């Protein structure tokens, strides 16, 4: 479904923003490292405005946050 829902993905600057936000989130949580939970916490805010949904996703009523959540669910934590 995801390949049908995303018309244009985030640019490399999106991953840079995600990294910086996840580091800040980890620091605010008192952590010395970034965990997958930090990335999950900030990903919607960092990426939602950086992706463009396809017409199929919009017709199905999908939101950008919903698509990002589904994408994160498919990525296994290391």
| Third-level CATH fold of 2-74 | Helicase, Ruva Protein; domain 3 (1.10.8)
Confidence of residue 75 (pLDDT cuts 50, 70, 90): confident
Looking up tokens 């997958």, which residue turns up?
36
Q: What is the mean pLDDT of residues 32-57?
A: 96
Per-residue pLDDT tens over the stretch 6-35: 999 999 999 999 999 999 999 999 999 999
> Sign (positive/negative) of CA torsion 28, 19, 69, 7?
positive
pTM to 2 decimal places: 0.85
Question: pLDDT by residue (tens digit) across 56-71?
Answer: 999 999 999 999 999 9
CA 75 to chain centre: 11
List phi, psi (to 5°) of 53.
Answer: -80, 155
């Amino acid at each position: 479904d995801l390949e049908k829902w995303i018309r244009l993905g985030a640019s490399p600057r999106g991953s840079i923003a995600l990294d910086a936000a996840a580091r800040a989130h980890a620091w605010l949580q008192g952590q010395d490292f970034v965990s997958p939970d930090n990335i999950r916490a900030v990903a919607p805010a960092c990426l939602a405005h950086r992706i463009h949904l396809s017409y199929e996703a919009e017709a199905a009523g999908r939101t950008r946050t919903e698509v990002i959540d589904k994408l994160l669910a498919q990525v296994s934590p290391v």
